[in-house]
A and B are shown apart, each in its own frame.
Chain A
Amino acid sequence: GDSVTQMEGPVTLSEEAFLTINCTYTATGYPSLFWYVQYPGEGLQLLLKATKADDKGSNKGFEATYRKETTSFHLEKGSVQVSDSAVYFCALSGGLTGGFKTIFGAGTRLFVKA
């Protein structure tokens, strides 16, 4: 079935460092891909999405490109801030197996030090 694998955390960075969180997926068909962010004690919020191959999703300085050839959707940010400390989830939906349901990765916790 459909699945999402993302790098284990925690990831600890200093402020203004470059961030990459790796995400790969397995799915049949043409799924849409998402990154969600969860701040402590809250629900998840959509950070960005991409609906077809080579699409780039971007929001708040974060970017991710839908790479069908490598089945990847890595999250990047050029300069992180302390306020970016959170848990980041890669997800997909619209694959032939899962349909409209969303399949989430296990999450990657990011700590940014001042």
Chain B
Amino acid sequence: DGGITQSPKYLFRKEGQNVTLSCEQNLNHDAMYWYRQDPGQGLRLIYYSQIVNDFQKGDIAEGYSVSREKKESFPLTVTSAQKNPTAFYLCASSRTGGDSQPQHFGDGTRLSIL
């Protein structure tokens, strides 16, 4: 079955350290997204990409970076500049053509600070 795989499920970061969250999809979707979810809150868009080698900042991009070298992959790096990185991170993908398309989500990565 097609889907989105996020890894790892749990991740711990030390102060001053960069960490990278993996997101892979086999749905052949053009668009991919990263969201941050804090306890009891909705989703906030970090970055999104409509096509390989192109990506755009979302609402809370500071302290994060991404790359989109392959259609299937959209890794997110949480840099040391992100001072409050503890959160649940969700990756999603969707088609971009025709009727507005729903997003398909991975099961998330929970990042904590040591």
Task: Give A residues with C-beta under 8 Å from B.
Answer: 31-32, 34, 41-46, 49, 51, 89, 93-94, 100-102, 104-107, 109
Contacts and interface: CB of A to CB of B under 8 A. Distances in A.
B101 interface: yes
A100 B99 contact: no
B108 A42 contact: yes
Given A34-B102, A49-B102, A104 B96 contact: no
B90 interface: yes
19 contacts: A32-B99, A32-B100, A34-B102, A42-B107, A43-B4, A43-B92, A43-B105, A44-B103, A46-B102, A49-B102, A51-B99, A89-B43, A93-B100, A94-B99, A94-B100, A100-B100, A101-B45, A104-B43, A107-B42
Interface of B: 4, 6, 31, 33, 40-43, 45, 48, 50, 90, 92, 94, 96, 99-108
Nearest to B95: A100
Given A41-B108, A46-B104, A107-B41, 9 more contacts: A32-B99, A43-B4, A43-B92, A43-B108, A44-B90, A93-B100, A101-B48, A104-B43, A105-B42
